[in-house]
Amino acid sequence: MVTKQGLVVKSVGGVFTVMTENSKKYVCFAPKKLRYNDLDVVVGDKVSFEELSHGKGVVTEINPRRNKLSRPEIANVDVCFVVLACEPQPDFYLCDKVLINCFQEHIEPVVVVNKVDLSLETAQKAQQNYGGIADVVCVSALEGSVDNLRRYLVGGKVACFAGQSAVGKTSILNSLLPEIHGETGAISQKSGRGTHTTRHSSLHRVGEGFVVDTCGFSLCELHGIRSDELRLYLDDMVSLSQGCKFASCTHTVEPDCAVRSAVEGGVLCKERYDRYVEEYNELKEYEKNQY
Ligand SMILES: Nc1nc2c(ncn2[C@@H]2O[C@H](COP(=O)(O)OP(=O)(O)O)[C@@H](O)[C@H]2O)c(=O)[nH]1
Ligand SMILES: [Mg+2]
Ligand SMILES: [Zn+2]
């Protein structure tokens, strides 16, 4: 038997589609013994498998994962396109939380401002808020101008989408997908919503890389982050905090705080700082209620 390496691009009811380097797809199953210790095969897993008869195989090993997101489960996500638009009105709290989730999971966040055919206001705000901690990229799925996202996929990277409903995640994904034999390969505008169908995620090839049609973050929560750790995920605050009097400064009430000075001096976005304080207090409140 021949052992091959591949990427799990689809999973439906215990049947896995595994794609090899040369884009050949195999229909594989995984024996029970792989499933101990949280080792269910999930989409995004890099696996070894043994080819049985042509086009079929059995997974023998799951490579160590870079990360694993839940609901739906996806492994080894490299990049997250966090989509904002002028309509619906941007929810910057949600965006903050997605970015924090990304930093926690070692995923590169890219703030994508869609619908720039309508207005540039959100793009300016996004740049002010996030320019210091993430790339901010403008696109218009309507006009098909999404090519500046492709560079995040070179080298076989896997990207997922996050963001409020109706910002244009599905539209951007469809603009990125190649047209295959006249079919659009289009993802239903409804997919990703809570319909009766099971929420399967799959990886779609885009150039050298892949995009996932769902997100895998439970979007409104900061999971497992302590209030006093929140500041550590935000690179611009981390560098500014070199100038704080106390190494443990949370940048909320302490004297001689370089982060607060930066906000007053217009160096750090005040809106984002104010949300940071609220998010910090939220986590603190949550911790108090734990005991
Ligand atoms: N004007 C404009 N409308 C867009 C653009 N992208 C998406 N839309 C519209 O926004 C709505 C929501 O898009 P959809 O892709 O379903 O958003 P999702 O819920 O984030 O997946 C649809 O009516 C799209 O036609 C864009 O770049 N410009
Ligand atoms: Mg959608
Ligand atoms: Zn401080």
Domains of the chain: 2-64 (2.40.50.140), 69-212 (3.40.50.300), 227-289 (1.10.40.50)
Of all atoms in ligand 1, which is nearest to the CA of residue 118?
1
Distance 290 CA to ligand 3 centre (A): 26
Whether residue 59 has pLDDT greater than 80: yes
CA nearest neighbour of 156 among 202, 105, 104, 211: 211
Q: What is the pTM of this model?
A: 0.91
Tell me the sheet residues that pair with 61.
Answer: 48
Q: Indicate if the pLDDT at residue 216 is higher than 60.
A: yes
Which residues make up the environment of ion ligand 2, defined by Cβ < 5 Å?
A: 169-170, 192
Q: Which residues lie across from 17 on neighbouring strands?
A: 10, 27
Task: Identify which has the larger pLDDT, 194 or 85.
Answer: 85
Is pLDDT at 166 greater than 60 in this prediction? yes
Compute, in angstroms, the gap from residue 259 CA to the centroid of ligand 3: 5
pLDDT at 65 over 70: yes
Tokens at 165, concatenated: 């409903």
284 Cβ neighbours under 8 A, 6+ residues apart: 227
Write the residue with the smallest CA distance to atom 9 of ligand 1.
168
What is d(CA 214, CA 261) in angstroms, rounded to the nearest whole number?
40
To test the ligand 1 pocket, which listed residue (171, 172, 187, 193) has its Cβ within 8 A of the most ligand atoms? 171
